[in-house]
Structures are given as C-alpha cells and as structure tokens.
Amino acid sequence: MQKYLIQGGSRLTGDIQVQGAKNSSLPILAAALVSTGESVLHNCPNLLDTEYAIKILEYLGCKCYREGGTVTVDTTSVTQCEVPDRLMREMRSSIIFLGAIASRCKKCRLSFPGGCEIGQRPIDLHLSALQQMGMQIEEDHGYLNCSVDKGFHGANILLSFPSVGATENIILAAVKAKGTTVITNAAREPEIVDLANYLNRCGAKISGAGEGTITIEGVETMQPCEYTIIPDRIVATTYLAGAAMTGGNIRLTGIDCRHLESILPVFEEAGCSVRRYNDAVSLSCNHKLSSVKLIRTMPYPGFPTDAQAPLMAMMSIAQGTTVFVENIFENRYKHAVELQRMGAHIKVEGRVAIVEGIRTLHSAEVNATDLRGGAALVLAALAAEGTTEVMNVHYVDRGYEQLERQLNLLGANISRISCGDQA
C-alpha cells in the first residue's frame, strides 16, 4: 500500500496539459472488440482502470501495446468470451464489456462489477435493454451467462434513468445488430458523444449522440480506426479546484470548455477569475473564496456527480455556507468524514451535505475510500496547515495519471511513499 505525504501551503501556478478522459477510454477500449483488426487510440490515460480494461482485452485474446499516451488494440484473435471475476471486481465500469463481447462472440459470461463503494450501481437497466434486443440471461451463482444465438436485433428502448453505462452498452450491442435501435432518455454526456464518434469512424451509423434520443442503424461490418480520446473534464475540475483553494493561477490546455459549462460558473460564483479559450481555460484566485448557495448533482448537462467531492473540499474553506444535494449516488459522502478530521465543518443528512466554510484546514492522517473522494482529500491537504498523510492512494490512481507529479509541476509539495517507510 502507498500513501501521499502532502505539505500544505504552496500555491498552484503554471500550465498543465489535461489527460484523456477515463470515462471515454474505458468504453472505447471495449468498443474495439466490435471490429476486427488494429485500433490506435491516442490520449488514452495510463490509469489503473485503463490497465484493467487492457488486461480484460488481453484475457479475451487481444494484443495490446502502450507507448506513452497511445494504446494499440489488435482484436484479430478473440479466443474467450468470459471476463474472470478477479478482473470484474477491479472496476465498476467493467460491465461495459458485456455489450461488446456479446456483439462479437454471440455470448458472454461475467460476474457483477466491483470498484469504488460509492453506492449502488444496479445493472438492471443494462440487462433489461439487452434482453429487449434478443439477449438471454441466466444467473449462475454470482455469474451472468448471456447469449444472443441469432445476434442482436434492433429495438425501441426507453431508459427510466439516463444511465451512462446502460446507454454505452446498448450502443455497443446495437452497432452490428439487425435493424434500427432507438434509445429514448439516453445519457447525454460528452463521453457518450466520444464513443459514438469513435464507432462512426469505424463504420457505425449512430445519430443523436449528446441528445436525449440516439438512433443506431445496425451495420454488417466495421473496420478499426485511429482515434484521439477527449480530455478529462473531471480531472480538469480537480486542478481548477486546487488552484482556487491555494490562491493559485493555472492554465489548463487541451481542454474543451463546452464540457465544463455546468462547472465553471461555480468557480466564478466562488469569486475566481475564469477565462475560456478555444482549447484552454485559466483560473486565478487571489482572495478568500466565497460559498456557493447550492450544488446539486444531476445527469449531464447538469453538475456532474464526479465533481462533487473536489468541490466540497473547495467549499470547506470558503466564506459562508454551501448546500450539496447528491442525486446520483446515495453513498457518496464518505470523504466528508475524512474532511472533518482536517477540521472541516460538514453535516450530512441523507443526500444533503451542509458545508460551513472555515478559515483553514489542518493536517491529519486521512483515508481515501473512493476515486473522487481521494482527490478531494489531496486538494484539502494542499490547502491545509502542516503535513497531511493520505492513505489508500490506489483509489486516486484509478482516475488520475501521476497526480502527484502533475501537482508538483504546479508547485505543490507531494511525495508518494510505501506505508511503513519514513518520509
């Protein structure tokens, strides 16, 4: 196990290139299965989650190569149609392989996904939709035995909730299905658009991605392609929050400001100076942060649930009171307890968290319990007095590429050590 030692009090300043989006990389890696041959994916971040996705592809018989931010996936030979339990348990989004494997192999066997414990993420929407498209599913002692002997067929699917994962699984199943599939109340996230753009470049016929209704006309064959993954809007938000909390001045490059339209106004309301460019955004904050009245997480284009924890850390030192309402996951305030160990005044009641800003946080030993909560603790440590120890940093590694290195380049003082080692 490893931990961060973070000396607070340094301002984050400078320019930084934002990594590729984790939540685009994973479905696009899975999507490589629906074509036969070699796909070249640029801007694919080197994360624990992407490495587990690559391990799944390799277990299935694919050949994968990484060179820097480029991953090459050769799906010429797929010899397995099962994802072993040990790999399914490593990340919550592993269920995304179901639609892709079944499209390629006409069958799939996998267990229920694991990952961060941020609340229930039922896969009933995935399974119900795929059943409407012709999949037969049998549960077998924690495993799902799935088959589509005659291949997927088109269907009209109404999602009761705009689930990102379910929308992706349906798309992956539908691209080579017989007939046309229409998804109503589809997820609208930029990562959905990115997946559709990749698949369309491979020869799929997908329209409406980014809107509430997506139409997929099935095609017989698809060809692999070369594609560049979009930047990660949650990582961008994390860096912006770090600059705001430390009175810094940073410029993020390689970013699409359109993906941050629900987030940047929060920084402006908090008193930060934000400037938008074609492919960059800058933020400066040289005075005390102001509280934001209400931050309510919603499906895109609303405020993203993944940004809730970093912004809670930021609001913990803002002047005034901020109310958070978490509408996506029911158990996503675990970081609040750890922030309280650093002096934060946070009261949680169900899906509501009330944050009363204080002048400054103090150092403590804290535990990351999930990806975004771990990032929030890192941000709190940057702004705190003294040296903070953040344990279980493997959670942070799931979604942030060399976070300590990137923050140190901006002026932070972070070191990663093995637990039990001396600083």
The residue among 279, 384, 284 whose CA lies nearest residue 4 is 384
- Record the tokens describing residue 405, joined without a space: 């290195």
DSSP code of 19?
A: P
Q: What share of the chain is helix, strand, coil (3-state, %, to 5)?
A: 35, 30, 40
- Record the tokens describing residue 366, joined without a space: 């804290």
The residue among 301, 232, 213 whose CA lies nearest residue 24 is 232
Flag whether 251 is marked binding: no
Query: Would you tell me how many other CB atoms lie within 10 Å of the CB of residue 211?
Result: 12
Flag whether 123 is marked binding: yes
Known active-site residue 64: no
Contact 36, 74 (CB under 8 A): no
Flag whether 403 is marked binding: no
DSSP code of 386?
A: S
What lies within 8 Å, CB to CB, of 93 at 6+ separation is 23, 26, 27, 49, 113, 115, 165
Pairing assessment for the beta strands 387-391 and 2-7 based on DSSP bridges:
antiparallel
- Record the tokens describing residue 228, joined without a space: 């560049």
H or E, element range at 400? none
Flag whether 124 is marked binding: yes
Flag whether 22 is marked binding: yes
Flag whether 150 is marked binding: no
**DSSP β-bridge partners for residue 414:** 6
Flag whether 121 is marked binding: yes
Given the residues 44, 81, 108, 116, select the one marked as catalytic. 116
- Record the tokens describing residue 154, joined without a space: 């088109």
Flag whether 23 is marked binding: yes
Phi, psi of 414 (to 5 degrees): -125, 135
- Cα–Cα distance between 281 and 303 in angstroms, integer? 18
Rg, Å, the chain Cα set: 21
What lies within 8 Å, CB to CB, of 349 at 6+ separation is none
Query: Would you tell me how many other CB atoms lie within 10 Å of the CB of residue 145?
Result: 14
Helix axis angle, 164-174 to 190-201, nearest 10°: 10
- Known binding-site residues for phosphoenolpyruvate equal 22-23
> Can you say which residues are annotated as belonging to the binding site for UDP-N-acetyl-alpha-D-glucosamine?
92, 121-125, 306, 328
Annotated binding site: 22-23, 92, 121-125, 306, 328
* Active-site residue list: 116
